[in-house]
Structure 1
Amino acid sequence: MSVRDLAVSFRSDTRTVHAVDHVSYEVAPGEVLAVVGESGCGKSVTSMAVMGLLPPSASVTGSIRLAGRELVGAPEKELQRHRGKDMAMIFQEPMTSLNPVLTIGRQIGEVVRRHQGLSKKDARARAVELLDLVGIPAPRQRVDEYPHQLSGGMRQRVMIAVAVACDPAVLIADEPTTALDVTVQAGILEVLRSLRERLGTAIVLITHDLGVVADAADRVMVMYAGRAVEEAPVDELFARPRHPYTHGLLGAVLRPGGEGKRRLPEIPGLVPGLDVQPDACTFAPRCPRADDTCTAARPGFTPAGPDTGTGPVHRAACWHPHPTATTAEEAPA
């Protein structure tokens, strides 16, 4: 899947909010791309635009191509053919995403009946297979239960089962481990890894949990105030963060043995409003490295290190990126 120059704005009677400001990325078959950033930075809006699930008040421009097919501006019937079959999404909160009055089996079976034309009997059998695939015990019993009868971890696994029912080429996982304990979280990530290895599915993992990113992702895109500010292979990003915002995020992560020895650093200031996207660096008011250049012109999303030609390029949208120190802690402010 290829996203190019994607911009999303929302109109109201009094103002226009620019939620996503010209974001571009690609994800290859079998790759896990993590999209990280604080709440309100545009992660989920980007994914909803890809799925074609934004409300009528949204204006979407740019290009979203899935296996060469353009999705921006496509008719709703065409998007319906792709959703669930070629691309699917694991939503943030399964209890509000699953229908409380329909059994688990019926909700999973609806996907395969619509896209694969299975009978009710075959759809139920497929639902049992999928529940077993995502690690739910006693799937023949669970298939006839309702969402409220399952734990939070099991509901999240049901959401994954719905999403992968037709073996989609692209799977968007929007905060799939939020509010889950670490044991259940590890199980969910293992399910996603298994799906990638078994089906070659490309996964876009949306999260603010950097521990999940380090454990599951191949590549990371960092967003701030609706813009992509840094993109790099996961090991490279954690070892040599270049953008000051990424540096601040990593600096605020708890490390073993560090509790009580130092106060976690915070990023000063507030996230800017999205009514206007300035032709400048949006992080400049909070950045200790900012100067007049940062407030006068928007930085390009350019290579932030040597291009070895052997893998994805490390890129950052910053006029004054951090030097390539060994770790985030070693780079000077």
Structure 2
Amino acid sequence: MTTTAPSPATGAARTGPVLSVRDLTVSFAGPDDTVHAVDGVSYDLAPGEVLAVVGESGCGKSVTSMAVMGLLPPTARIGGSITLDGQELVGADERTWRPLRGRRLSMIFQEPMTSLNPVLTVGRQIAEVLIRHQKLSKKEARARAVELLDLVGIPAPDRRVDEYPHQLSGGMRQRVMIAIAVACDPAVLIADEPTTALDVTVQAGILDVLKNLRDRLGTAIVLITHDLGVVAETADRVLVMYAGRPVEQAPVDELFAAPSHPYTRGLLGAVLRPGSRTKDGRARLNEIPGLVPDLRSRPDACTFAPRCAFAEDDCRGGRPQLRTLAGGHRIACHHPVTPQPEEEVSA
């Protein structure tokens, strides 16, 4: 875990995590069955730290973050604990949530074109957050909106502030979403696929904006992404999820150097690298065989076992629990690829 950064609100160093998630479960009850979307996720997030959450589509990354934001529908059943600055949020009513969202806890949603209001200028949408949480006048909020657009790297912010989302490029719309999310200097920022569908140059700019905000404001960031290159460049720690469950968590350098879970190894092996081509010149990707399991079941077994080349009988007969190894590396696997039994410090 990284060293805690000063809180911009107080100027003093924080102690302990700003966000703690413990044994989080999320299920959705239907007329005939129940979908277990998240099952036993836990992590701590320190001020100024970037935690990347990775995994295949449907593994529970976005549902976990929506639970942290209190944005799941009434049909969701949430268990476990989510604390922000020591305040428990699981079971909190909307009156408790309203002053936290946008002020202490913010989110950059996956698709800016559908997240921004098409009939309001971007300046008005930024100003709405400032008027709501900081009680600024309309004139003050507009001036601050211009400053925020400049902060996130939008050129000519005094002109762009009066433009509508359709007048901006995809990269600029994503920067507007970031400006809205950081308008009130939140303690925690959740970025859900912030670089999806953007070209490489724009991706680099967005990541620079996020890192700059972390360094300047001490904001802790949860980064949800499929892009392991983004993870390697940006994150301090990585949480790997599969079928709603956490399977590995480690500092980013350690995870890339010595991935222990077969699923993590498979994800890293599926990245296209220079020289990974067949004799006829076509790009070659290694794939993980099999399919993601049905989330309507909650087996007392390793959910990755049907796709794992290392699976044995105990994998199918008992759910592996997260074990903590030396250096903060945590893994839920009966037969890790790179076992470290002599370094294990707790079970």
**The two structures share one fold, judged by TM-score above 0.5:** yes
Measure how far apart 1:75 and its partner are: 1.2
* Secondary structure in structure 2 of the residue aligned to 1:215: helix
Tell me the distance in 2 between the aligned counterparts of 1:143 and 1:289. Answer: 55
2:338 equivalent among 319, 323, 326: 323
Q: Indicate if the aligned counterparts of 2:276 and 2:284 stay in contact, CA closer than 8 A.
A: no
Which deviations, in whole Å up to 9, do the C-alpha atoms of 1:99-121 show, x marking residues without a partner?
A: 00111011000001000000000
Q: Is the 8 A contact 2:301 2:318 kept in 1?
A: yes
Q: 1:293 aligns with which of 314, 327, 341?
A: 314
Which residue of 262, 286, 300 corresponds with 1:279? 300
Q: Which residue of structure 2 lines up, in the alignment, with residue 34 of structure 1?
A: 52
SS of alignment partner, residue 84 of structure 1: coil
1:22 aligns with 2:40: yes
Write out aligned runs for 1:60-209 (5 A). Answer: 60-209=78-227
Determine the C-alpha separation between the residues in 2 that align with 1:259 and 1:185: 26
Letter in 2 for 1:130: L
2:290 equivalent among 258, 261, 269: 269
For these two proteins, the number of residue pairs brought into alignment is 319
Distance 2:75 2:339 in 1: 43
* TM-fit CA distance, 1:276: 1.1
- C-alpha contact 2:276 2:285 (8 A) present in aligned 1: no
- Give every structure 1 segment of 4 or more consecutive aligned residues whose post-TM-superposition deviation is greater than 6 Å: none
Please name the residue that 1:55 is paired with: 73
Identity %: 75
SS of the equivalent of 1:63 reads: strand
What SS does the corresponding residue of 1:82 show, helix, strand or coil?
A: coil
Alpha-carbon contact 2:20-2:43 (below 8 Å) kept:
yes
User: Partners of 2:339 and 2:278 in 1: how far apart?
Assistant: 28
Q: Aligned partners of 2:92 and 2:205: how far apart in 1?
A: 36
In structure 2, the residue matched to 1:330 is none
Distance 1:213 1:46, change over 3 A: same
**Does the residue aligned with 2:232 lie in a helix, a strand or coil?**
helix
Classify the secondary structure of the residue corresponding to 1:45.
Answer: helix
Alpha-carbon shift at residue 324 of structure 1 (Å): 5.9
CA contact (8 A) 2:310 2:335 kept: yes
Mapped partners of 1:196, 1:263: distance in 2: 37
Deviation at 1:163, TM superposition (A): 0.1
Give the Cα separation in 2 of the matches to 1:3 and 1:118.
Answer: 33
- CA shift, 1:78, in A, is 1.0
Shift of 1:260: 3.3
Could you say what secondary structure the match of 2:260 adopts? coil
Gaps (5+ residues) in structure 2? 1-18, 341-347
Distance 2:334 2:133 in 1: 48
3-state SS in 2 of match to 1:173 = strand
When the two chains are superposed, the root-mean-square deviation of aligned CA atoms in Å is 1.1
